[in-house]
Amino acid sequence: MRSFTIPAHYRSNLIGRLKAFRKTQDPKKKDLGPTLLDLGAIRFLFARHFGFCYGVENAIEISYRALEENPGKRIYLLSQMIHNPAVNDDLTARGMRFIQDTHGRTLIGWSEVSADDIVIIPAFGTTLETEAKLKAIGVDPLKYNTTCPFVEKVWNRSAQLGAKDYTVVIHGKAAHEETRATFSHTAQAAPAVIVKDMAEAQELGRIILGELPIELFAERFGERCTPGFDPAKDLVRIGVVNQTTMLAAETQAIADHLKQVMVKKHGEAELKAHFADTRDTLCYATNDNQDATNELLKADADLALVVGGYNSSNTSHLVELLEQRFPTFFIKDEGEVLSAEAIQHFDYPAHELRTTDNWLPAKRPLTIILTSGASCPDTLLDSVMLKVLDFVEGVRDPEETVEAMMA
């Protein structure tokens, strides 16, 4: 896999070296066990896979190249390039501006954008409607297009389904940029409907089976389906794709459930005529990070810290997995580790910041899981780890310990 040119301030001196060491030891990713950094009074467990993925590094490389190649020009990000505030803040500090927020709401009017400006498409991709607006202005949307190749893979698979007269069921969050983009690209070739979770997939299945009135479709999914969607006709042949940052296991469970719905409706012998196998749209990085996080669930740890942007879908799913077993705190950077007595963290289900007291146990040795989402620089994990070490006496020097591990 190719390497990318990433600014030095995103490269980690400590945790990055541990990741590189594991990669050298296990290049084929056969060992999903965590990495232990034993500092005596405190021990950190790192997931086998975490942090920047291929698509994020590609987006960062293109964005910083755009800055270098266009001095003096106005450079816009269509929306947040990735869901990490540290990265987006650094880009805006260098003069970039956002045209839209993460929900597609306008921050800068299109009338302000000219053909001489540079507009960067984020890693999530964008809708065909937005591409058309850029072309009408005279901006080439492909010149600095950072759309993740694995997102484009989903679009291609959706197009293939549409060409074979399948309706595309998209597992994703309807307001998320990637799902909005996938829906737009899918809609040009196929009917499409978005389901956010298994509960909605089950409801859709009951409509298909006639266990719920077909009129219920418009009430439940009317704002998340293509115009003119006819459930009586468009739910006869279906295939499932996903927003690549969703829980891979949940996407597969939804596909498996709808597959069984079609077996029940049409019979096993007719399954291929009514259901398309689409498991190849799952993102490898999402799978790797989630599989590695599932391995962490087998560990003996006292708590977990997950670092990433609050609006990062893939990060929120890591939190969702870890909180099954451990007290888990979702933080954006070391600034939220207030003291040994208090930590500020994001409650994802409630979408609000909270402060928890007495979060750091007094027991020694203390074992902490530390991981991050696919859009989080490893340097932030370095900073979080060092901040926690400030509150613990009698710890070994982390640089010397990492150096000894590399020897």
Domains, the chain, ranges and CATH? 8-53+285-406 (3.40.1010.20), 54-137 (3.40.50.11270), 166-282 (no CATH)
Q: In the annotation, is 178 catalytic? A: yes
pLDDT above 90 for 140: yes
Q: What order of strands is seen across the sheet that includes strand 75-77?
A: 97-98, 75-77, 118-120
How confident is the model over 121-131, as a mean pLDDT?
94
Q: Please report which confidence band the pLDDT of residue 358 belongs to, taking 50, 70 and 90 as the band edges.
A: very high
Q: Please report which confidence band the pLDDT of residue 53 belongs to, taking 50, 70 and 90 as the band edges.
A: confident
**pLDDT score recorded for residue 181:** 96
pLDDT above 90 for 38: yes
Segments in 222-331 forming alpha helices (H): 231-234, 248-266, 284-296, 313-322
Q: 102-106, 135-139, 390-394: which has the minimum mean pLDDT?
A: 102-106
Q: Single out the catalytic residue among 131, 177, 178, 200.
A: 178
C-alpha radius of gyration, the chain, whole number: 23
pLDDT above 90 for 287: no
Q: Please report which confidence band the pLDDT of residue 151 belongs to, taking 50, 70 and 90 as the band edges.
A: very high
pLDDT above 70 for 168: yes
**pLDDT score recorded for residue 280:** 63
Under 8 Å CB-to-CB from 92, ≥6 apart: which residues? 77, 98
How confident is the model over 58-84, as a mean pLDDT?
92
By residue count, the chain amounts to 407
pLDDT above 70 for 378: yes
**pLDDT score recorded for residue 318:** 94
What six digits make up the tokens of 103? 């929900």
* Burial class of residue 284 in the structure, from the number of CB atoms within 10 Å of its CB (0-12 exposed, 13-18 middle, 19+ buried): middle
pLDDT above 70 for 17: yes
Residue pair 287/45 in contact (Cβ under 8 Å)? The answer is no
Mean pLDDT estimate for the chain: 93
**pLDDT score recorded for residue 248:** 82
Number of neighbouring beta carbons within 10 Å of residue 350: 8
pLDDT above 70 for 1: no
